Structure 1
């Protein structure tokens, strides 16, 4: 098999593996839809709590349903003491994504029904995970800086409470709303790498916790959720660069990548990126931050070079624009991917439930793809096994 053919057979690109009613992307038109609703409408008019309800239950909630859902999330924000006590013994330089992934199985240990496959029970577990992940991320940030872990504030909404537990200061209403919108924009994205990982794991009838832990593992990679941290590292590197345009030109002429540019699906623009770009520009003007300006110079220079090369579909993605937004909120670079997870857990749980209960009996179809073998082959009898002392 040629190298070209081998590469075409990797990554499951373009391969449909399952039906889903949760979200839809039209990459050619730059459209993202959750359960039939465009992401722009949700970002402008909804809240993360309402969006999470939509993803889990399939419909927009009534006032009464939203109030009940929001209260249930607030009631589940606290995590078991043994988890916090354990985290306090962990190396202070541990990566936050590793910490977050490690805590999810601990939540399973605290759940005597962690492996029970019942739809209503899985919905309750999903709500608990949506509630607890922000607490865990904030707790780890304070533990590693030798600061006391703060209790959730029941008076604050989901995004505002996270910022309170993280910084120890109650955020402004505008900042809390900005983060809430970010959570809406990141909540789901069809069969991305982490969602597929979660669905594949629970297709074995593994627990919802196992699926979420798998999603976290996939999200931690620099080609997926970890890309936003890489974008911010790039921006920080260019903080005092006098010739940003020259840096971009050299980067591309050397065959290197510009982090946050390009997407596997969107060919005419990522609708989430467009929304975050405007937010970043506004926050930059309000705070005097330079990141929006640097981002704009990188984007304009890179797009001009791509256009000359005929690569007009390489455009900024959600990571390119979310990184400066988070940074301007005072969120450390290595917490940007965990915040992605705080949002995406709502989508993962929706997909896990869809996968586990696709049939009326709640019997998921085991994912078992085939591989094209390209290794050594000596016929059906196999290669001849030679003694150790006769091998070259």
Structure 2
């Protein structure tokens, strides 16, 4: 088998206008706009509009879009009641996936091929997924659910629902930037899962549920949770260098380091590193300092041991950042999802309505059969009593 085809690496499966990565130069583009420019000037609401609509909004368009997001924040009360019946130690990603696909039972899912219905489903998901995640955190910790506050931005509203406390302006902006950074990343595993399901004609909620399932895997979205577990194990700056060296000497991987696409510094990691530093100074917590030593030691040791240049990815500094925002580590991947849903839904709409093909094309890759053959006619079926 041609090894370059393993995992569909480097295989172009579709055109997209949504985002692009230049791995050699460390660039990430949303609809033509550099991610670094968006983090300086945009908001998550505006970035979501950009991803869904292929252009930045006018002031009127942005206000109307923000109001649509606010109006869609509430989750059905029946879903909240059902949530209380779940075991409290259930995996948050399992919960999120289940409740996202359940939304189709509350809203019109008969318009799989209607672009406006899909657009409203995208609004529903971008707005309701933060409510679902925050409500689950409140339920599983025995606290009252905090209802969405229409006076707050998308970022501030989520943090308020999660911890029951409105964030200050700096904290709100830090989290808003995090959401922008995670909103899309071309044809990663979860986005491809969403597009593959959408190619069958399935509704938006099924496609996004599939994306959440893909994101839950430790090789995709679970890495930032693993980074935080690493930092908690290291405990202090004094332990960090020796901890990293011991793991590398045993041939183990350092979570949050290295990327399949970027050959230089992940541009998202650059921003997250600075945000983590700001929040560490604000809170007095040690996690940024520990992470920086992990980064520096890994870069130095990998160069010395293997001659490899390795850089942080998006997970390394997002872990400490979320922890200092009072987000439990096992919610790191759901937080990823409440941002990436803007990209997923944009890709679903593009897959269904904006492909160059004259009609929707069902993804149907070809596999190479490497199993046994017993002869030209196949294996002979023997009755069970004759089998040895």
Same-fold status (TM-score > 0.5): yes
Question: Any gaps of 5 or more consecutive residues in structure 1?
Answer: none
Residue 132 of structure 1 aligns with which residue?
128
| Cα distance change, pair 372–361 in 1 and its aligned pair in 2 (3 A) | closer
Check whether the contact 2:111–2:118 (CA below 8 A) recurs between aligned residues.
no
1:258 to 230, 254, 260: 254
Indicate yes or no: 2:380 matched with 1:384.
yes
| Cα distance change, pair 205–333 in 1 and its aligned pair in 2 (3 A) | same
Report the more deviating stretch, 85-94 or 374-383. 374-383
State the Cα distance separating 1:320 from its structure 2 match: 0.7
Query: The residue matched to 1:89 in structure 2 has which SS?
Result: coil
Alignment of 1:297-312 (within 5 A): 297-312=293-308
| Distance in 1 separating the partners of 2:117 and 2:356 | 16
Check whether the contact 2:137–2:162 (CA below 8 A) recurs between aligned residues.
yes
State the Cα distance separating 1:385 from its structure 2 match: 2.9
State the Cα distance separating 1:361 from its structure 2 match: 9.4
Indicate yes or no: 2:185 matched with 1:189.
yes
Q: Residues 269-292 of structure 1, C-alpha deviation per residue, up to 9 Å, x if partnerless?
A: 100001101111111122111111
Report the more deviating stretch, 248-257 or 63-72. 248-257
Check whether the contact 1:108–1:114 (CA below 8 A) recurs between aligned residues.
no
Residue 290 of structure 1 aligns with which residue?
286
Question: Any gaps of 5 or more consecutive residues in structure 2?
Answer: none
Query: The residue matched to 1:25 in structure 2 has which SS?
Result: strand
Check whether the contact 1:356–1:362 (CA below 8 A) recurs between aligned residues.
no
Q: Residues 132-153 of structure 1, C-alpha deviation per residue, up to 9 Å, x if partnerless?
A: 0000000000000111111111
Report the more deviating stretch, 62-71 or 293-302. 293-302
Q: Residues 310-365 of structure 1, C-alpha deviation per residue, up to 9 Å, x if partnerless?
A: 45342110001100011111111011111111100000000000001135898420
| Cα distance change, pair 80–362 in 1 and its aligned pair in 2 (3 A) | farther
Alignment of 1:64-143 (within 5 A): 64-143=60-139
State the Cα distance separating 1:114 from its structure 2 match: 4.6
State the Cα distance separating 1:250 from its structure 2 match: 1.4
Residue 166 of structure 2 aligns with which residue?
170
Query: The residue matched to 1:153 in structure 2 has which SS?
Result: coil
Residue 20 of structure 2 aligns with which residue?
24
Q: Residues 51-75 of structure 1, C-alpha deviation per residue, up to 9 Å, x if partnerless?
A: 0000000000000000000011000
Number of residue pairs aligned between Structure 1 and Structure 2: 388
CA RMSD between the two structures: 1.6
Alignment of 1:331-346 (within 5 A): 331-346=327-342
Report the more deviating stretch, 220-229 or 189-198. 220-229
Normalising by structure 2, report the TM-score.
0.97
State the Cα distance separating 1:390 from its structure 2 match: 4.2
Normalising by structure 1, report the TM-score.
0.96
Alignment of 1:2-41 (within 5 A): 5=1, 8-41=4-37
| Distance in 2 separating the partners of 1:335 and 1:391 | 51
State the Cα distance separating 1:387 from its structure 2 match: 3.9
Residue 200 of structure 1 aligns with which residue?
196
| Cα distance change, pair 95–141 in 1 and its aligned pair in 2 (3 A) | same
